Structure 1
Amino acid sequence: MICEDCKVHVCYKCVIVGHQNHNIKNQPDFEQELRLKVNNLVQRCAAKKTELEKNIQNVEVQRHEVFTAVQKLLNDVSQAYSIKAKELEENHRNLIEQIDRVKRSFDDDLNVLKSKDRQRIKSMCSSITLVANDRLGRLETDSLSAHTLLCEELDAMLKEATDHTSAAAITKKAQEKRFKLADDTRLDLGSISSDPKLQVIQCVDLRGQMVGMTPYSDDSVAIGYSSVHGIDIIDSAGTKGQYPNIPSNMKCYDLVFQQDRSLCISTGSKEAHIYSPNGARKSTIHIKNNRCFNLRLNRSPSDEILIANNDNKVYIYDPTGSTLKHTLPTKHNKTFQVSATRSGLIITSSKYFDTNPNVVTVYDRAGNAGESLQAPNGVLLYAAVDEQDSVYVASVDLNNGHLVIRLYDLDGLNLNERVEFNALNLTLEHQVCYLVSISQDMLAFACRKKLYFIKVTL
């Protein structure tokens, strides 16, 4: 027999004398349990070995991806060097030619001086000769111009988790590295980016509940409110002012400035007004809208006015607002925001119904759509296009107050994720939020009575 508690062989006498109330097992039963335990460990070892071998293979796959990403960086640097080297060679050649021209010009000027002096000498000699010979000749001159036992120990080792994520995380970081070309006027080739990140540089308390926002300059935004009149202009330093060139009793439910600084304002669910820079009303856009949803506005790079009214279509007007150029049908019943790229693509934030997830979708002017980005339930999506046609998408989780912004590149009508930035913990109290790109390295995000200026590092 075996005393399982003491891990020793015992006889009946031993059980009575020293092992009462212990867990005593027949040796065959104990051996069978031990055999089963060992067999289980053998199977788990084999499975763990297979898992670890696969993980090793995955590490090598990730190593290849890392090398590919690093090689791309090298190729980008080499290409930039080649371009700059050619430019420098051309610039060097031009400078040499310019210097040669300068040299020739000086040489010509010196020759003129020399010629003049020689001419003077000649004239002097001629004159002295003439004088000496009592004759006066003629004078002539010229001129010129810078990325228990062994089983327990083995069991403990088998329970240790396998790291499946670090290699992929390293690959992701490598793939997020970008080569940033220096300004053309600088000698530096550029630099390898640090880890992409977002930083809130300014939080501003708003005087009302924000319902509309648009860029005003590369350092400021214009805000419209549902609860108070007027439009606020707020910059990244937190400085506030009011836009003067609209009626003082007007509520602005959304807005967009055009290239000539004309202002298009949503006045509710059925009309948008366009005002000239001096405050004169230029035109009124009328929308047939059976929904109690304020019109949402934006503009295309060619100054077309884009309108969403929480329906399954987007309206595209000419810059004057007088002509409806196109009505774009959308796949989703509730399209609540719209923006456009330089190439004419339309990007919408929508949902099928109130209970469905938010989606972001890219359309062409013919109504063809790419694959939508879809948020988890309870998460809202807001898209913004920057001046390079990159697309920022904000995921707003009202339950935990997290804002996660991702940067996407356009691939036809699809969006390919380039970077997922660090999550930001903000005061998120309302479903009405807004994201705009105001410069290449600055975003503005507003939610209810808070406005955040966010610095982008790529």
Structure 2
Amino acid sequence: MAARSKEEKLQCFNCPMCLDVLKNATLLSCGHSFCRGCLEAYDKQLKDLNHIVCPVCRKTTKLDQERVAGLTPNFLAKGLEDILKVDGSAQNQENDLSKFCPLHSHVYKDIYCQPCSEFICLTCYIDSHQGHKIKKQEELEKELKTMRDALLEKSMTKKTHFEHCLSEATLQRDVLSSHLSGLEGEVRIAFANKVATLQQNEEELLEKIGNIRELLSGHWENCICHCTEVISRISNSVKLLTHHASKPLDHDMIKAVHLTCADLEDSLKEATLEESTKHVKDIQNNVQFRPAGDELLALGCIHLGDNDIEASRIINKTDDAGVSEEAGVPPASSLETGNAMQHMKTTGRRRRKNRGRRKKQAGSEALLNNSMSTCIVRTRAFPLGTGRLFGLAALSKDAVVLGYAMDRKGCYRFTLSGDEDQYLGSEVGDVYDVALLSGGRTIVSKQGDEFFVYNTVSGSSSGKRYACKQSGGFVRVCTDQHDNIYAVNIKPEICIFHGSNPNPQRVVPTGDIRPKQICVTTTGIMITSTGDITPSTVTVFDRDGRVGTSIVATHDDEFVYATVDSLDRVLVATVVNYSDVLRLTRYRLQGIRLVEEVRFQYQQLTLTWPIQSSMLLSSLFYIVSLTPTMVAIATRHDLIFIQLGI
């Protein structure tokens, strides 16, 4: 009973962290005490916070500059510990007295009564334990020693057997893991080969459709030009004959009328092209995409009609007629003088000139169709005293979230209409980059190689911590529709996190590319930017690390950045050091290849501070897509909303 009382007393002075007796007991503001060494080890994990959270009740205790060393010692626990040591000494004396029988003083209890399970003295046995099976203490100790030695020997044998089983199980587990990893690799290789086959099939089909479009469109253009030319010739001949009908016929007039009539007859004999266009119409109406069956590794084929051979011959046939010239209306002077011969000579020159003008106009229209305008909708300037802009995330179709790094705590929301309010409070600390997850959760990147996920809805002041490998910079993050978190920090890799695991689920190597920014499509294609790391590049990677298109800046003072819109189109922004000129180019993805779609006209930005890059001043430039026609850009001290041409 006394031993149990001592044990209960000692439990009151156990550290809740190491479960041992308190050593150098230190008191938190909530009243719980811990070993000072345990608290110091615990504080090293949370060195970026200005407080410590009690592991028992989760209440916080503010820390000063000395951290745990500045906390108050628990002097009461120290005093009670000394008292308990004194009680222990007294207990040892009591244990010595317990060897004597309490009923018969000075008589040792050296007989063990098995039915009663207690030690008794000889007088007790004579008085009340006769007939019970007893053993002398020495005999009992000998039996226990023999049993102990046998159990120890058996334990060693059994332990050796289990260690062998453990080694065998570990080996087989590693063999299984290696075998399954090999199978996964084979599956990925087979999948990549089939994807490559399908991509090649897709490119061939698209190329065939493009050829059909080009050839059929060219045929109809030729038909249109030819019909326009014939109509123009007929109209001119009719005008000439009508004009000549009211004039007296002299020799020159008779020759002119004769030539005009011959020209009109030739024009009227021109074929109307019904026969030559019938087959083209049939092809145009019968062009179909026929998907391949589920059992075939192919997308399908382009079907040109009932007779593919004849259709292919028609669309690949060279038009012997060429581009038709446009007949012009002769000037009034030709009608007045009646110089028909001169008119016939100048007609060919006019047609060639008009043909050149049409080609030039067509080229101008093509250039115009590949260039669109942009318009700055709203600009928000942040003067030098208000801090630099770090990180930019699209909150909705008309709102963004911005951070300020070490200049200001927390982050703010800004809308297209000009409204602003605080999005995360100062308790989250410095914000070097920001991204959004579902369920009202927000990712905040800190200085160094870590970032935190905060629950914006509940307003929690503490976040789940994630970390990348050390790089000496800070982390830039983005997310996809599956709540995967993509993080880069100037190292040649992309870290992909998911769920509550603080370590990367996957690490995608990027070779010689050291990304500083990243964005992701809905299909998991990753687009990275090295920012102001020269040469500045925008590079496409798939989830297995295969490299696609890489857009490289033309010189060391030019930087390229990228964002992805909701249609999975890639918008690349090009800026120049010490400049306020912005160039935007939009690309569409074909697999991991970027195909240029449209170039937007240069936009002159009005900046509080020109875009700069140096050893001390990193080029701060962020771009995000709010809608397919609206982007937001953050530079060092400016937030700009830009409307793109449709």
5 Å matches for 1:251-400?
A: 251-277=430-456, 278-280=458-460, 281-291=462-472, 293-320=473-500, 322-350=502-530, 354=533, 356-377=534-555, 378-400=557-579
Report the secondary structure of 1:334's partner residue.
coil
* Residue 197 of structure 1, CA deviation: 2.1
1:231, 1:221 → 2: CA distance?
A: 10
Alignment-mate amino acid for residue 602 of structure 2: A
Contact preservation (8 Å) 1:315, 1:324: yes
Q: Taking structure 1 as reference, are residues 65 and 225 closer, same or farther at Cα in structure 2, changes over 3 Å only?
A: farther
* Residue 440 of structure 1, CA deviation: 2.4
| Aligned residue number for residue 205 of structure 1 | 381
5 Å matches for 1:408-423?
A: 408-423=587-602
Q: Using CA pairs below 8 Å that are at least 6 residues apart, which structure has the higher relative contact order?
A: 1
* Residue 198 of structure 1, CA deviation: 1.3
* Residue 166 of structure 1, CA deviation: 6.9
* Residue 65 of structure 1, CA deviation: 10
Contact preservation (8 Å) 1:379, 1:397: yes
The gaps in structure 1 that reach 5 residues or longer are 1-63, 72-77, 80-161, 177-194
2:636, 2:362 → 1: CA distance?
A: 40
1:224, 1:241 → 2: CA distance?
A: 12
| Aligned residue number for residue 171 of structure 1 | 366
Contact preservation (8 Å) 2:579, 2:611: no
Which structure has the highest strand share of the two?
1
Which structure has the highest helix share of the two?
2
| 1:401-439, Cα deviation, whole Å (9 max, x unpaired) | 210011100011111110100111112333110000012
Q: Taking structure 1 as reference, are residues 249 and 413 closer, same or farther at Cα in structure 2, changes over 3 Å only?
A: closer
2:538, 2:391 → 1: CA distance?
A: 19
1:286, 1:205 → 2: CA distance?
A: 33
| Aligned residue number for residue 107 of structure 1 | none
Alignment-mate amino acid for residue 173 of structure 1: L
Contact preservation (8 Å) 2:376, 2:641: yes
Q: Taking structure 1 as reference, are residues 408 and 319 closer, same or farther at Cα in structure 2, changes over 3 Å only?
A: farther
Q: Taking structure 1 as reference, are residues 333 and 342 closer, same or farther at Cα in structure 2, changes over 3 Å only?
A: closer
2:640, 2:215 → 1: CA distance?
A: 36
User: With structure 2 as the length reference, what TM-score do the two structures score?
Assistant: 0.41
* Residue 213 of structure 1, CA deviation: 0.5
2:499, 2:373 → 1: CA distance?
A: 36
2:499, 2:526 → 1: CA distance?
A: 16
Report the secondary structure of 1:404's partner residue.
strand
Contact preservation (8 Å) 1:66, 1:171: no
Of 586, 589, 611, 1:429 maps to: 611
Q: Taking structure 1 as reference, are residues 262 and 289 closer, same or farther at Cα in structure 2, changes over 3 Å only?
A: same
Contact preservation (8 Å) 2:431, 2:444: yes
1:294, 1:323 → 2: CA distance?
A: 17
* Residue 321 of structure 1, CA deviation: 5.1
Alignment-mate amino acid for residue 205 of structure 1: A
Over the aligned positions, Cα root-mean-square deviation in angstroms equals 2.8
Report the secondary structure of 1:324's partner residue.
coil
Alignment-mate amino acid for residue 285 of structure 1: Y
| 1:428-458, Cα deviation, whole Å (9 max, x unpaired) | 3331100000122210001001000011221
Q: Taking structure 1 as reference, are residues 249 and 314 closer, same or farther at Cα in structure 2, changes over 3 Å only?
A: closer
Contact preservation (8 Å) 1:252, 1:266: yes
* Residue 317 of structure 1, CA deviation: 0.3
2:215, 2:573 → 1: CA distance?
A: 28
1:235, 1:166 → 2: CA distance?
A: 42
Report the secondary structure of 1:453's partner residue.
strand
5 Å matches for 1:115-130?
A: none
* Residue 208 of structure 1, CA deviation: 1.8
User: With structure 1 as the length reference, what TM-score do the two structures score?
Assistant: 0.57
Q: Taking structure 1 as reference, are residues 321 and 228 closer, same or farther at Cα in structure 2, changes over 3 Å only?
A: farther
Report the secondary structure of 2:427's partner residue.
coil
Report the secondary structure of 2:368's partner residue.
helix
| Aligned residue number for residue 372 of structure 2 | 196
Alignment-mate amino acid for residue 623 of structure 2: L
Alignment-mate amino acid for residue 200 of structure 1: I
Aligned-pair identity in percent equals 25
Alignment-mate amino acid for residue 231 of structure 1: C
Contact preservation (8 Å) 2:468, 2:504: no
Report the secondary structure of 1:279's partner residue.
coil
Larger radius of gyration: 2
| Aligned residue number for residue 450 of structure 1 | 638
| 1:63-104, Cα deviation, whole Å (9 max, x unpaired) | x79967x99xxxxxx99xxxxxxxxxxxxxxxxxxxxxxxxx
Q: Taking structure 1 as reference, are residues 199 and 284 closer, same or farther at Cα in structure 2, changes over 3 Å only?
A: same
2:545, 2:485 → 1: CA distance?
A: 17
